[in-house]
Amino acid sequence: MEITEKHQSWRDRKALTDEKMILARQILAELRAGQDILKTMRAHPAADGGLLGKSVLVAAYQQMVAAGEMDADRALLEKIRMKPVRTLSGVTTVTVLTKAYPCPGKCIFCPTDVRMPKSYLPDEPGAMRGLEHAFDPYAQVASRIAQLEAVGHPTDKIELLILGGTWSAYRRDYQEWFIKRCFDAMNTPLSPPKYGEDQPYLGGSEMTPPPNSRDSQREFGGGREGAEICLPGELAAAQALNENTAHRNVGLVIETRPDEITPKELAWLRYLGVTKVQMGAQSLDDHILEMNKRGHDVQATRRAVALLRAAGFKIVLHWMPNLHGATPQGDRVDFARLWDGFCPDEIKIYPNQLLANAELYEVWQRGEFHPYTTEELVDLIAEIKPSVPRYCRINRVIRDIPSTNVVEGNKRTSLRQDIHAEMARRGTKCQCVRCREVRKATVDVSALKLTDLVYQAANAEEHFISFDTPEDGLAGFIRLSLPAADAPETGLTDLDGAALIREVHVYGQSLPVGAELGGAAQHIGLGTRLLEEADRIALAGGFKRMAVISAIGTRKYYLDRGFERGELYLVKPLG
């Protein structure tokens, strides 16, 4: 067999990059001396005349720090890190996809591809990674961690986002196995690449893993090859290990349908370690839901939200303008309903997109459906975005579906930028969590203002307690929920008579556990002060106990602050 670059060993590939590594070291030396990064990179082009990739700069930086040739320099790393916005919210998100599986929904807007879980397309960026790894959870997590580390992102605090249709419809043994394998990947020390992997060596450390190596899966916790089950106690053991591992899980997110949420489902999700639930509300108009064959009514969404809130979960609702039967004016009215009792913590605005492999395509062919134009969507969302309450985060305003799949209507995936430009033209602004995050801005702790935004959700009094900068930037917050007397029964004994902490989040560039950075919002004690304020408010509200829905990797943080292990939550007495 002819030996090509793809078949060369890791060490052979390392030799091929020596020239780039020498160049990267020269660039780093000039950057440390205060030179502009773009000018410096242009002054030292690669052999092919192009600019040296930032991944090579990061690899050279890591190599030099590991060899003791230079001290860790976070300011320098921030300069050379690719897409720093990915971790400016304080955590690093790793997205994985479940395998194709029947969905109970029959929604006419949902695309269908036999290779993919319901509603996903094989050329969507996040979905592509799942398909490339045959939806293997271990391979997806391990490769994504490797990719993020290769371009300079910290990976010690990971929010695991599990996508793929309706999670609750999958077999429970598959769910348990899938999450256990994700934890295995987070718990596994990274290894050098093997023969036959597809990714080129980036000149990183000896711990750079092979993104596509089946050998690595067998070597590090691969388990019973081909078996999608785990033995009793295996998930709990993997979770326990993750409490002190290098890649801690600080949030676990699944997506499901409102009609799948029951008290039994709540307990199961907590057993798995889930802390946040995404649900497709799509519309809060029963007639629109029926026209689009959604399969549940608005009351099902209201009931699901109330149950999730009573169990302390963070709630993300998907809302879809331009559904079959909707109008721009009707969507404006519908959007306002989100804040009438539902009060989600986060939303994703997913304008309906006309795709050839969805039933809606046939409706369009009959002339019964008309997609909004880009201009109509920008006008609609620019008008409603400023109305989003300060306690809610808008995660997305468009799905990342490649334009080649869209038959008619908006094809721009950069809709958020268009909307912000239109809002700037109108002189309006959004006050949602995402738009106010301090990100990498320097924070003067002495100037922060503690604010308690109180709002009524169905069956609970919610407190969004935040530290705000004088410029109205959001440095950190805590979501405290005080269940009302009519809150639905969850059957979770940990929560009997307890106030609930549903989220604690401090913003700024994600830093390694235990690290500090002058002026950064993280690691300056804001989380502890927010917890103390939540205790005070709950005690004044007549609650004698506090419970927190802790992710596996944040258990130690709460245990160090007076909480004790319950059955599925961490709890402590108040007063």
Q: How many CA atoms lie within 13 A of 240 on its CB side?
A: 6
> What number is the average pLDDT over the span 124-133?
88
Range of the domain at 51: 5-80
Please say if the pLDDT value at position 40 is more than 90: no
Share of the chain above pLDDT 70, in %: 85
Q: Please tell me the total number of residues recorded for the chain in this structure.
A: 575
Least confident of 15-19, 161-165, 311-315: 15-19
Q: Are residues 122 and 11 in the same domain?
A: no
What average pLDDT does range 190-197 have in this prediction?
Answer: 40
Same domain flag for 280 and 181: no
| Integer CA distances (angstroms), 152 to 79, 145, 221, 391, 555, in order | 10, 11, 26, 31, 26
Whether 368 and 251 share a structural domain: no
pLDDT in tens, 238-292: 999 999 999 999 999 999 999 999 999 999 999 999 999 999 999 999 999 999 9
Question: Are 103 and 247 part of one and the same domain?
Answer: yes
Residues 293 and 229 occupy one common structural domain: no
**Residue that is last in its domain, among 435, 467, 483:** 435
The residues near 264 (Cβ < 8 Å, ≥ 6 apart) are 491
In a domain, 293, yes or no: yes
In a domain, 532, yes or no: yes
Do 313 and 426 lie in a common domain?
A: yes
Res. 410: pLDDT tops 80: yes
Whether residues 103 and 251 share a domain: the answer is yes
* Strands 393-396 and 449-457, bridge-based pairing: unpaired
CATH code of residue 369? 3.30.750.200
Q: Which CATH number is 482's domain given?
A: 3.40.630.30
**Opening angle at CA 491, ends 487 and 497, nearest 5:** 55
Name the band, by pLDDT with cuts 50, 70 and 90, for residue 115: very high
Q: What domain count does the chain have?
A: 4
pLDDT of residue 199: 37
Q: Is the residue at 440 inside a domain?
A: no
Place of tokens 């091929």: 16
Give the mean model confidence (pLDDT) for residues 492-500. 98
- Average pLDDT on 527-547 reads 97
Residue with tokens 């039933």: 359
Q: Outline where 36-124 has alpha helix (H).
A: 37-43, 54-66, 74-80
pLDDT band, very low/low/confident/very high, at 55 (cuts 50, 70, 90): low
> pLDDT at residue 154 above 50?
yes
User: Is 37's pLDDT higher than 80?
Assistant: no
On whether both 134 and 247 belong to a single domain, the answer is: yes
Tokens of 555: 């258990």
Residues 518 and 473 in one domain: yes
User: Which of 37, 61, 80 marks a domain boundary?
Assistant: 80
Supply the mean pLDDT for the chain: 86
Looking at residue 574, what DSSP letter applies? -
- How many other C-beta atoms lie within 10 A of the C-beta of residue 203? 24
pLDDT of residue 508: 62
260 burial level (CB within 10 Å; 0-12, 13-18, 19+) = middle
Q: Among residues 256, 285, 302, which one ends one of the domains?
A: 256
For 189-216, what is the mean pLDDT?
37
DSSP 377-428: HHHHHHHHGGGS-TT-EEEESS----GGGB-SS---S-HHHHHHHHHHHHT-
Inside any domain, residue 86 = no
Instruction: Tell me the CA distances in angstroms from 562 to 251, 312, 483, 529, 575, one per residue in order.
Output: 21, 19, 22, 13, 12
Q: State the pLDDT at residue 226.
A: 57
Residues 202 and 226 in one domain: yes
Q: Which residues of 423-452 are buried (b: 16+ CB within 10 A; e: fewer)?
A: beeeeeebbbbbbbbbbbbebeeeebeeee
- The yes-or-no verdict on residue 15 having pLDDT over 70 is no
> In this predicted model, which residue has the larger pLDDT, 237 or 80?
237
Judgement on whether residues 429 and 450 belong to the same structural domain of the protein: no
Asked if residue 10 is part of any domain, the answer here is yes
532 in the same domain as 416 = no
DSSP state of 96: E
Residue 483 inside a domain? The answer is yes
Contacts of 418 (CB under 8 A, 6+ apart): 374, 378, 412
Check whether 30 has a pLDDT greater than 60. Answer: yes
In a domain? residue 194 = yes
Q: Domain for residue 465, yes or no?
A: yes
Question: 340: alpha, beta or left, given left = phi > 0 and alpha = psi -120 to 50?
Answer: beta
> CA-CA distances (angstroms) from residue 442 to 226, 489, 521, 524?
49, 44, 7, 12
> pTM of the entire structure?
0.83
